[in-house]
Amino acid sequence: MAKNQPAPLPIPPGGAAEPAGKLKIIILIVVALLLAVGLSIAGTWFVLNKGAAGDAKPAEAAADGAPQKQPALYEVLAPAFVVNFNQGGRQRYLQVSVALMARDEAQLKALKVHMPVLRNDLVMLFSGQDFDSLTTPVGKEMLRQQATAKVQELAQKETGHTVVEQVLFTNLVLQ
């Protein structure tokens, strides 16, 4: 049986070092990847901690008596406004869902007392619009700004404060 087996091949002088060379390359690649991941984590940690340290300064400024901005409060005016207007002999409709954004809850509650007047003023504003101008984004933004000004004017007159920071259209349908 020993005669049928081929003779073992002689090992060349540099042959034994070749697998070790590949192993070294693999180890170097793994170390480089671990180093890159470690640097990435360290950089992220540094940036996040630097941001946290930067946040401490505004907190100190607020403690010194500077007013701090309160979170936004939203009051949805339900039901949605539906107005009609005549455009070129054709009857047109506008449906707008409106939300008021304010920062002070007490002032917002004081404004809620005047909600019928506020809704009336907005209906009059919406019904006086031109259909063609409302079909453009600029026209819709202009209407939103006019509504904001109208609500702030009413709030200033009735409560003594502007109360509402923005009027937001959560839905606007033209037909």
Domain spans of the chain, in order of start = 14-68, 73-174
User: How far apart are alpha carbons 160 and 62 in whole angstroms?
Assistant: 25
pLDDT of residue 47: 83
Whether the per-residue pLDDT at 53 is higher than 60: the answer is no
Q: What value does the mean pLDDT take over residues 66-78?
A: 82
User: How far apart are alpha carbons 37 and 41 in whole angstroms?
Assistant: 6
pLDDT of residue 159: 86
155, 161 Cβ separation under 8 angstroms: yes
148, 101 Cβ separation under 8 angstroms: no
73-174: CATH class? alpha beta
pLDDT of residue 108: 87
Q: What average pLDDT is seen over the chain?
A: 82
**CB neighbours of 155 closer than 8 A, spacing ≥ 6?**
107, 111, 114, 161, 162, 163, 164
Percent of the chain with pLDDT over 70: 79
pLDDT of residue 64: 56
Closest by CA to 126, choosing from 92, 158, 89, 154, is 92
Whether the per-residue pLDDT at 162 is higher than 80: the answer is yes
Tens-place pLDDT, residues 73-127: 888 988 999 998 877 788 889 899 999 999 888 888 888 899 999 999 999 998 8
pLDDT of residue 30: 92
Number of other residues whose CB lies within 10 A of the CB of residue 32 = 10
Closest by CA to 172, choosing from 137, 120, 125, 130, is 137
Residue 86 gets which letter from DSSP?
Answer: E
pLDDT of residue 27: 92
Sign of CA dihedral 99, 122, 132, 138: negative
